[in-house]
Homo-oligomer: A and B are copies of this chain.
Amino acid sequence: MAREDAENALNAMGEIARFIEEASRIIDKEEVSSFIDLLAEVYGDHRRKVLVMGAGRSGLVGKAFAMRLLHLGYNSYVLGDTIVPSVRRGDVVVAISGSGKTKLIVTAAEAAKQVGATVVAITTYPDSPLGKLADLVVKVPGRTKHSRLDDYFARQILGIHEPLAPLGTLFEDTALVFLDGVVYALMERLRVSEDEMRSRHANIEL
């Protein structure tokens, strides 16, 4: 039993990793280029900021990305933190939602558009409400929490009864690693060294 548990855990881990690796081949390069251009444009202007938003685990992915933006030298903020300045024209808002229909995020992204911010959607569904209102969509593959396991192959052939990555897991993990890839591209583009990032890392933690 115990051995089976470990195999289940590490097999699922490997599956998710292969999904992410595959995703790195199919994410659209034009979309990624536009996203990085947009972020590069904001850099170094202390009056412009990047606000990242997402609900639940997608919100955590957003926070992880916002931290690295801070290390790169951005004025980055996260919806849900205590300190969130008002959003203005010229700011970039990165909204993360696998389904693209998380109500809170769609509402917040709409509000951001209305004040003139540029909204980037990180979502699996470009045709979703979030995808449609965004100025730029980066499509990141995943299976959302609204999906159900109805795959004949999985059930009948593999004998899997529950998905190896329940709810929004595939999207969330893929989005995190994708955004970490974007961080690397920004390091190169903006010529920020890891040492500089380390020096901007919080020196006081709670």
Contact = CB atoms under 8 A, between A and B. Distances in A.
The DSSP consensus for interface residues of chain A is helix
Given A21-B14, A60-B63, A29 B7 contact: yes
A13 B67 contact: no
Interface string A6-32: 111111111011101101110101101
Given A83-B78, A202-B84, A24 B29 contact: no
Nearest to A57: B64
Given A185-B9, A203-B111, A33 B164 contact: no
A34 to B, nearest CB: 8
Contact of A181 (B11, B79, B83, B87): B11
Give the number of copies in the complex: 4
Contacts of A165: 180, 184
Contacts of A51: 204
B67 A85 contact: no
A151 to B, nearest CB: 13
Contact of A87 (B37, B194, B197, B203): B203
A201 interface: yes
Interface size class of chain A, counting residues whose CB lies under 8 Å from the partner chain = 35 or more
Nearest to A206: B79
Nearest to A77: B83
Contacts of A177: 13, 16-17, 20, 173
A179 to B, nearest CB: 9
Contacts of A102: 205
Nearest to A146: B198
12 contacts: A8-B188, A9-B182, A11-B24, A12-B180, A14-B21, A17-B24, A63-B82, A104-B104, A165-B180, A166-B183, A173-B173, A173-B180
Interface pairs A-B: 10 shortest CB-CB: A13-B181, A17-B21, A2-B33, A12-B184, A9-B185, A14-B24, A6-B32, A8-B185, A17-B20, A6-B29
